[in-house]
Structure 1
Amino acid sequence: MAQAPTVRANRGWWDASADDYQAEHGAFLGDAGFVWCPEGLEEAGARLLGEVRGRRVLEIGCGAGQCGRWLTAQGAEVAAFDLSHRQLQHSRRIDEQVGARLPVVQADAARVPFAARSFDLACSAYGALPFVADAGAVLAETRRVLRPGGRFVFSVSHPVRWAFPDDPGPRGLTADRSYFDRAPYVEQDEDGEPSYVEHHHTLGDWVGLIVASGLTLVALTEPEWPAGHDRAWGGWSPLRGRHIPGTAIFTCERPA
């Protein structure tokens, strides 16, 4: 699956699914909350981005802008973009409901529409990177728009989950495919055209892509499933969270 058909498929899927996604997960994400992952790790406590007040921040794959809205409330100057126009319409809806204004644009993460060295920080909470054919291009573009010394933090499904069925129950604890199988997951419509695409990279692949982009990997966070958190999200669940990691969060920096 090359980049162009991947973009077409995922733009269509997210435009068609945005209403259901926001209805199902909106309360968990909050109108202005920064949640990194289904495990519920919040930036307010984790501080993976460091100090954001007075910083220019880019959110990549912003969905309905919940993270960007939280960053704005902390004193950051934020710009955000997403592939899906319908997701951005939900961002505008929330802005109008809460009296906020998050600047958003529609764009492909492999072609970031901002000037070089425009941002101090960049972030992506399950946005864009799992859904592009060329994750290296996204990383390189992010490095380009970061200022020297800038930080990029992004979360994705933990690569080890690729070997297990996307099932929150006991079936999801038995591996049924190879962790090293990098063939993308592809759904097709009734005409046989791709309608959803997700790409897989091993942990080693991610490290290699980060290094090749010119960024430096400074931390890898694997959030544990917290006690008392009983909400399942697709294949993420308390049962699976007690046994296998569900999320990988990479903290990278552009060398000064």
Structure 2
Amino acid sequence: MNPFIRDIILEHKEEIMETWLVEIKKFRSDDLLQNISDTMYENTNREFVNKLTHTIQKDKDEFQDDLIQFAERLIQLGWPLNYITRGLQEFRKITVEALSDTGENYCKSIEFFQEIENWIDDIVNLLVNQYSGSWENTVFLQKMALKELSAPLIPVFDNISVMPLIGTIDTERAKLIMENLLDGVIEHRSQVVLIDITGVPVVDTMVAHHIIQASEAVRLVGAKCILVGIRPEIAQTIVNLGIDLGKFPTKSTLKKGIESALEMTQRQIVEIEE
């Protein structure tokens, strides 16, 4: 940055900061920051201005590291990206106005405005990229965790496991169900697997096809499959679509399915008399 602009910004830093603190409070309610205390809000804003003014005193790599660390802290605290973008636009406007009022001829030149534009644009790009990268990583980790939890095979008795399915089943998720199902059958040495579709809102031809494929795969590895959670509306849909589920047992509830699974493994639930 031009040394003259740097010096005059630092000279009027407090004036710019105080004006900016007043202006930025006007859209605090729009930034979902109401739950942050007034003290933290003001201290963070003051720190933000200090970071911005420090960028003109340091080399590029050093000031980038400072801003990245600051942005990471804002992300962890839940400050929205809108705070960054709107705040910087307001800071640019206030800085230009404050320096233009100093009477310095250079502060009214095109070169001056371009210098301020480039300064703030570089900071905006850096912080937006940091926010975007953090969110992409978070979304990726959440997606992986959801995949791991979306189709678990749960052992409930020796040689009996349950796979509860919840939500919509698409092709990608059907593949995951198949993998977890087969891996779980081998790992838990399951003889009977209950696929519970109580939480599946819609069973159409594609969903039924995926379930049939899963049951056939279970049969090929030496286990039996029971489909449970057949609600009346699901049963009617299956009949209307002409879907053949006759190759493996179906039960209306998980309780009835477990009773059938126990019978298949030569066991039963017996009530103990007091």
Q: Could you say whether these structures have the same fold, taking a TM-score greater than 0.5 normalized by the shorter chain as the test?
A: no
* Structure 1 or 2: more helix by fraction: 2
* Structure 1 or 2: more strand by fraction: 1
Larger Rg: 2
TM-score (norm: length of structure 1): 0.26
Q: Which has the higher contact order (CA 8 A, sep 6+)?
A: 1
